[in-house]
Amino acid sequence: METIIYSQTGKEADKIQLPAEIFGLPWNGDLVHQVIISMMSNARDNIAHTKGRAEVRGGGKKPWRQKGTGRARHGSSRSPIWRGGGVTFGPNKDRNFSKKINKKMKMKALFVSLSQKLRDNEILFVDKLDLAEIKTTQAKLILENLSQIKGFKDILSKKKNSAYLTLGARDKKIEKSFHNFGNILVNEVRNINPVEIAKFKYLIITNPKESVDFLISKIS
C-alpha cells in the first residue's frame, strides 16, 4: 500500500510503500483493549492508603467495663465504628495493580492500532521537521500548514489530544517549540504505543522511511 509523504509546508513531497503486516491488519478490539488496560495498570502509581484498625494509634485499653454501664460493649477505640478508628476495606498502597502482557501481544496491538488509524485517514507522514531555533510561532506555522491537508483541518484547533508527533530521535528544538501546545505530544518513534495512539486523534510520523524501517525491525 502506498501513501503520500508531505513536507512541513503541507505540500506533497514524496510517496512511501507501507508494509501490510504493520499497516494492513484487520481491527481486533479485544486485543487492543486488553493491551491498553494492562499498560495503564502497569503505569499506575498506587499512592492511596488508609489505616486499618491494626495501624491506628491508641485502643490498647478497653474503653469501659463489659457490663453494668448500660452502653454497648466495646473492646477497643480502634474499631472502625469509632471516630478515629481504622478503616474497613479502604485503599492500600501495598495493592499490586500490575498485569502481565506478552511482548507479541503488545506489538500486535500496536500494529492493529496503526492499521486502523491509517484506514481512518488519521496518520500524517511528514518528511522532516526543520526549525532554525526554538520558537512556538514556527511550530504553530507548521501546524497551520498541515491543517491545510484534506482530513486534518482541526489538527490545530482541536483543544484536547489533537496529535501525537513522533520523531526519529530526540530534538530539543522541536520538543520545546511544541511544548506550549497542550493538545500536541512530542515523543520518539521508539516509544510509540497503543495507549497514546488511542488517546490522540491524529498521528504525525516524521522521517517516515526510517520510522517504518524501525517498526519492521520489531516484527522479528
Q: Report pLDDT digits (tens) over 174-185.
A: 999 999 999 999
Q: Are residues 32 and 62 in the same domain?
A: no
Q: Report pLDDT digits (tens) over 71-94.
A: 999 999 999 999 999 999 999 998
Q: Are residues 122 and 196 in the same domain?
A: yes
Query: What is the DSSP-derived secondary structure letter of residue 15?
Result: E
Q: Are residues 38 and 128 in the same domain?
A: yes
Q: Are residues 30 and 87 in the same domain?
A: no
Radius of gyration of the chain (CA): 27
The pLDDT value recorded for residue 173 is 92
Angstrom distances, CA of residue 194 to CA of 83, 109, 113: 46, 6, 6
Residue that is last in its domain, among 59, 81, 96: 96
Q: Are residues 8 and 65 in the same domain?
A: no
> 91 is in which domain, residue-wise?
47-96
Local structure of 103: helix, strand or coil: helix
Query: Which residues neighbour 11 within 8 Å (Cβ) at sequence distance 6 or greater?
Result: none
CATH of the domain at 109: 3.40.1370.10
Q: Are residues 63 and 145 in the same domain?
A: no
Q: Are residues 134 and 147 in the same domain?
A: yes
Q: Are residues 92 and 105 in the same domain?
A: no
Residue 220: is its pLDDT beyond 70? no
Q: Are residues 103 and 91 in the same domain?
A: no
Residue 201: is its pLDDT beyond 70? yes
Q: Report pLDDT digits (tens) over 153-163.
A: 999 888 899 99
Residue that is last in its domain, among 96, 125, 160: 96
The pLDDT value recorded for residue 1 is 83
The total of structural domains in the chain comes to 2
Q: Given pLDDT bands bounded at 50, 70 and 90, which one contains residue 219?
A: confident
Q: Are residues 193 and 114 in the same domain?
A: yes
Distance CA 93, CA 176 (A): 35
The pLDDT value recorded for residue 76 is 93
Q: Are residues 72 and 127 in the same domain?
A: no
Q: Report pLDDT digits (tens) over 15-70.
A: 999 999 999 999 999 999 999 999 999 998 889 999 999 999 988 899 999 999 99
Q: Are residues 125 and 142 in the same domain?
A: yes
Q: Report pLDDT digits (tens) over 89-141.
A: 999 998 999 999 999 999 999 999 999 999 999 999 999 898 889 999 999 99
Q: Which pairing describes strands 12-17 and 123-126: parallel, antiparallel, or unpaired?
A: unpaired
